[in-house]
Structure formats: C-alpha cells, structure tokens
C-alpha cells in the first residue's frame, strides 16, 4: 500500500479539530514533504519522525514521502502530530496494517531515539476526539493519567514508537507490550497542602468576610496596612471553598494541560482543590489574560478558573490589566484573538485583591502616621476604577493586628475557633442553600444574581431592609450599593444557616460592602 491515513487532534484554545494525516509514498528519490499549514515546530517533525522510525527498527522507505495534514486550512502547531505522521508513513509503507492505524487517534511527540514524549493539551485533545465520536486514543505514557480522566474513551499509553507499531501488528523483535490504561478516575494521592485559617491571629471580621465571600462567590477587596494579614487570608480562601466537582476538575485540568503545567509535576492528575493563582504585578498582559505568538494560550485568569485569582498590591498592576479583568468578571470567559484564530478560555474565578491604603501603607494604622500627600493617596487607590469596583461586593478595611493580640496568641490564650475544615463545611452548606433557593434560574451562587431579580423574587421582611431603604432615600446608598448589600445579606444568612435574612445579616452586609468608591472611606 502506498497511501495510508492516521488521525490526530489540532487544538485552538480548548477546542479541537480532528486532523486527517495522509501519507503517500511515490517512487522517486527519497525526500520528505510535509504540507497542510504546519508551523515551524511541526515542520521539524520530518526530521524527528525519520530518526525515530530508523531507531525503532522501522526505517522509512527510500522513496519520496508526502504527508498531508487535512483540513489544510486549519493552522497546526507543535509536536503533537509526530506519532500520527510516523504511523501513517509506516502504514503507507506496508510495515503496519493501515486498517488498524486508522481506528485510533494518535497523539504525542517523538524523540530521535523513537521514544514517545509527553505533550501539552492531551486532555482537551482526548475530549475533542470523544466529541467527534472516536472510541480509542493512543497517548504518551506520561500523559496516560491525564488522558484517562475522559470517560467513555479507551485510552492506551505507549512509551515509544516501536510499542505502537507492534500493537498495530508490526513484526519487530523485542516484545514489550502496550500498557493498557485502566480508566480509573486517577484520584491524586497527595494533594498539595493548603494553608489553614487556624493560623490567622485575630482579624475575626476579615475571616468572617472571607467565609461570606466564599459562600456567595463574592469578589473581595482587602485594604489594610502591611502586616495586617491580607495575603494570609487570601491564600486560605481555597481551603474553605467546596471541592471541585468531576466536570469542574476536568475543565481545570484541561486548562492546566494546554498551559503545560504537567512539566512541573511530571503528570497531571485530577485535583479536587480549587486553583489559587497569584500573579506578580510585573506580569505581562498576555501572561495574565492569555495570548502567545500566533497561537492563543490561556493566561493566569484562566488557570484560576473555578478558583481564586489573588492580586496582591492590586494598585501596582498595569491599569490595562485591571480593566481587562472586566470581561472575564462579566462573562466568565476570555476571548484571545491571534493570527491562528480566536480561542475562548473559561475564566470564572473569585477575584481577591489586596491593597495598601496608600503608597506608604500606614494610612489605616492608628499608631503609625501616614506620610503620603492626600493626592498620592487618591491616585493610589484611584487606579482601581469604578467599573471594576462595581463588580466587587466585599470591600473590607483591615486594621493592623495589635501587639497585645500577638502576645496573647503566642501565649496560647487566644481561642482558635475556626479551622478551615469547619468553615468549609459551613460554606458547602451555604452554597447548597443558595442553590436550592436559586433553583430554576441560571445562577448558582449569590454573587451572580442580578439586582432586579433579588429585589423582585427574593423577598426580605420590610422591617429587615428598612435601614437600607432609609439610606437609599437619603442618598447615602446608591442603587448598586443597595443590590450589593442584598446579595451579601443573603450570603450571610446562608452561612448562618437561616432561610430568611435577619437584621444582623443586613448589618454585616453594610459593613462588608464598604463605600461606593474606595477613596471615600
């Protein structure tokens, strides 16, 4: 046979296209032609495949080899096609049965020695294969755990090209077989340690605020002097969020997969812990929002999907980045436009921002004097624009922890009554309560509920909302602020296990909401 086909997947963002790889061997002097819009790293596949095949005991034919990647109009990149190109050629050369090869999707990069190497984006590629109706996929052995997360597809792992060829029926001397994947949902044995709220001294108000934010998935802004514990509290929020569901975890793992996160940990297995991403303020816009040269890649906002995006020293970030957060905050996704196409990355995260009250950091402290000019103070927090702050329900000012509290804690005299496990249990129950209340609506958590729906459908006793109505009448509370108070009051009630909002919930909400602007309070 001089013509054979194999199949692989080309990814653009999270969505994949099945690529048909045709190989033709014609009787002419040896050459290797690769057509079908390959990028530079894919064009190099020619040399990798030739060497890998030779070193696997399956030398390519001494003839002209033409490989076509179709549909030719879809841009393709990377080394994920190596294996499929190699098996297509070997099938065209009659070294392995073409009928067996075309029953599988082949994914993976080849080394010159014939080894099969892990690649980025295996999970979304296998998902795409499943959606296109493919039943079996062959992947590099290091990607096996990740690929096996997809249910309903037979996933096989291979360590080198020779194993794959032998699996398809090639006659080769050695006899080590393909390792068949048991498609068990690979529960990771050692989850990374997440810090616990039990370590936080004092700051009961802030811990309560964090719990309410977690219950309603409210975005949060913490303003306080250095050492008040802003970062400590933010880092601990994932520890009280409900665990990821199966579908959420697959989505999160898919994003990590295309970002190449497996290179850090060796392999990607399913994690139940919600992501926590903490970009430094010097990060580029493309690394935060998503981007890349030619081909779109997910940014940190997408890696924080279903988890927490923490911006420490938020006013230090480029204004352009802070403003570009508005799209994902609004729609829960990011569109990245590049020459190869438009990729849609999910980015539904809980935003937690921390800021000093002023450039010197001491404005809130009672004991320490602030040396900043008032104009500098205005400019500093003014970087957080109105439209951005509009989307943030909880804005809390933290006071520094007093030396007395620290001493008491050191002596063990302070009661530590709130471990993360405890808080998390309350948050899970609060979210369930909200979910039941919002059954039949497109929303699941309080932060998503629009004001109009809140006011019309979720009745609160008149005397309970009376203080809010009064403030609204007096003009000290805006309509938006009013809605934010209602959302927070519901989250507070959910967290306390109440089915109705009580006056104390409204009071808490008013406290957590802060002012309408940042600089005004």
Partner 1 sequence: MNRKQFLGRYGEERAADYLKDLGYEIVERNWRSRIGEIDLIANENGRIVFVEVKTRSGSDFGHPFEAITLEKVARMRRLAADWCAVKQVSGIKVRLDAIAVLVNGGKVSIEHLKQVF
What residues line the site for partner 1 (CB under 8 A)?
27-30, 54, 59-63
Q: How far is the CB of 64 from partner 1 (least distance, A)?
A: 10
Reading phi first (left if > 0) and then psi (alpha if -120 to 50, else beta), residue 244 is in beta
Report H helices in 188-261.
Answer: 204-216, 230-235, 246-258
Kindly tell me which of 1 and 180 has the beta carbon lying closer to partner 1.
Answer: 1
Place of tokens 């309350």: 426
Q: Decide if 104 contacts 7 (C-beta within 8 A).
A: yes
Nearer to partner 1, 46 or 424 (CB): 46
Q: Which residues on adjacent β-strands are paired with residue 26?
A: 64
- For the bound state, the minimum distance from the C-beta of residue 291 to partner 1, rounded and expressed in Å, comes to 41
**Angle at which helices 479-496 and 420-437 pack, to 10 degrees?**
120
Closer residue to partner 1 in complex, CB, 30/169: 30
SS3 content of the chain, % helix, strand, coil (to 5): 40, 20, 40
Q: Could you tell me the smallest distance in angstroms from the CB atom of residue 63 to partner 1?
A: 7
Output 54 or 281, the one with its CB closest to partner 1: 54
d(CA 328, CA 45): 37
Token pair listed for 274: 């919600």
Q: Which is nearer to partner 1, 93 or 505 (CB)?
A: 93
Q: What is the DSSP string of 110-122?
A: EPTTSBEE--TTH
Residue closer to partner 1, measured from CB, 66 or 492: 66
d(CA 29, CA 371): 79
Closest distance to partner 1 from the beta carbon of 58 (Å): 12
In the bound complex, what is the minimum distance in angstroms from residue 161's beta carbon to partner 1? 17
Rounded Cα distance between 393 and 370, Å, is 27
Residue 374 token pair: 């008032």
User: Considering beta carbons, is residue 28 or 432 the nearer one to partner 1?
Assistant: 28
Smallest separation (angstroms) from partner 1 to the CB of 100:
25
Q: What are phi and psi of 404, to 5 degrees?
A: -65, -45
Taking the complex as a whole, how short is the minimal distance between the CB of residue 54 and partner 1, in angstroms?
A: 7
Q: Which is nearer to partner 1, 29 or 367 (CB)?
A: 29
Buried b / exposed e across 98-115, counting CB within 10 Å, b at 16+? beebbebbbbbbbbeebb
Q: Smallest gap, in angstroms, from Cβ of residue 62 to partner 1? A: 3
């Amino acid at each position: 046979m001089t013509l054979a086909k194999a199949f692989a997947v080309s990814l653009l963002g999270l969505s994949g296209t099945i690529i048909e790889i045709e190989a033709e061997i014609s009787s002419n002097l040896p050459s290797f032609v690769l057509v079908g819009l390959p990028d530079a790293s894919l064009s190099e596949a020619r040399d990798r495949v030739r060497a890998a095949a030779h070193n696997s005991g399956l030398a390519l034919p001494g003839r002209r080899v033409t490989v076509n990647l179709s549909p030719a109009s879809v841009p393709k990149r990377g080394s994920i096609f190596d294996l499929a190109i190699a098996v297509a050629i070997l099938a065209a050369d009659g070294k392995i049965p073409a009928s067996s090869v075309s029953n599988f999707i082949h994914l993976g990069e080849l080394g010159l020695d014939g080894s099969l190497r892990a690649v980025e984006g295996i999970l979304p590629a296998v998902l795409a294969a499943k959606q296109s109706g493919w039943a079996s996929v062959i992947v590099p052995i290091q990607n096996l755990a990740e690929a096996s997360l997809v249910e309903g597809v037979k996933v096989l792992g291979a360590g080198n090209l020779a194993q794959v060829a032998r699996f398809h029926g090639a006659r080769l001397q050695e006899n080590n077989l393909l390792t068949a994947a048991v498609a068990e949902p690979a529960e990771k044995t050692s989850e990374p340690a997440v810090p616990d709220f039990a370590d936080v001294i004092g700051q009961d108000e802030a811990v309560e605020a964090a719990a309410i934010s977690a219950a309603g998935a409210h975005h949060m802004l913490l303003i306080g002097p250095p050492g008040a514990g802003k970062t400590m509290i933010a880092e601990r929020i994932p520890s009280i969020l409900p665990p990821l569901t199966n579908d959420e975890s697959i989505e999160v793992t898919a994003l990590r997969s295309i970002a190449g996160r497996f290179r850090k940990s060796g392999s990607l297995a399913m994690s139940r812990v919600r992501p926590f991403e903490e970009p430094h303020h010097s990060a580029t816009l493309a690394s935060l929002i998503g981007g890349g040269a030619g081909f779109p890649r997910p940014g940190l906002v997408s890696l924080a999907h279903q988890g927490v995006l923490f911006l420490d020293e938020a006013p230090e970030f480029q204004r352009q980045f802070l403003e570009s957060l508005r799209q994902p905050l609004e729609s829960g996704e990011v569109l990245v436009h590049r020459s190869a196409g438009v990729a849609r990355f999910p980015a539904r995260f809980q935003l937690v921002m921390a800021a000093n009250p002023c450039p010197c950091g001491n404005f809130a402290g009672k004991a320490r004097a602030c040396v900043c000019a008032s104009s500098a103070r205005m400019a500093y927090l003014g970087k957080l624009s109105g439209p951005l702050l509009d989307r943030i329900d909880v804005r809390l000012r933290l006071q520094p922890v007093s030396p007395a509290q620290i001493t008491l804690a050191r002596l063990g005299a302070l009661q530590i009554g709130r471990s993360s496990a405890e808080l998390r249990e309350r948050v899970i129950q609060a979210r369930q309560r909200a979910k039941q209340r919002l059954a039949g609506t497109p929303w699941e958590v309080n932060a998503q509920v629009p004001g109009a729906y809140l006011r019309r459908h979720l009745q609160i006793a008149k005397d309970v909302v009376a203080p809010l109505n009064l403030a609204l009448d007096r003009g000290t509370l805006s309509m938006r602020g009013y809605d934010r108070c209602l959302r927070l009051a519901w989250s507070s009630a959910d967290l306390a296990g109440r089915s109705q909002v009580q006056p104390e919930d409204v009071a808490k909400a008013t406290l957590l909401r802060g002012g309408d602007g940042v600089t005004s309070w």
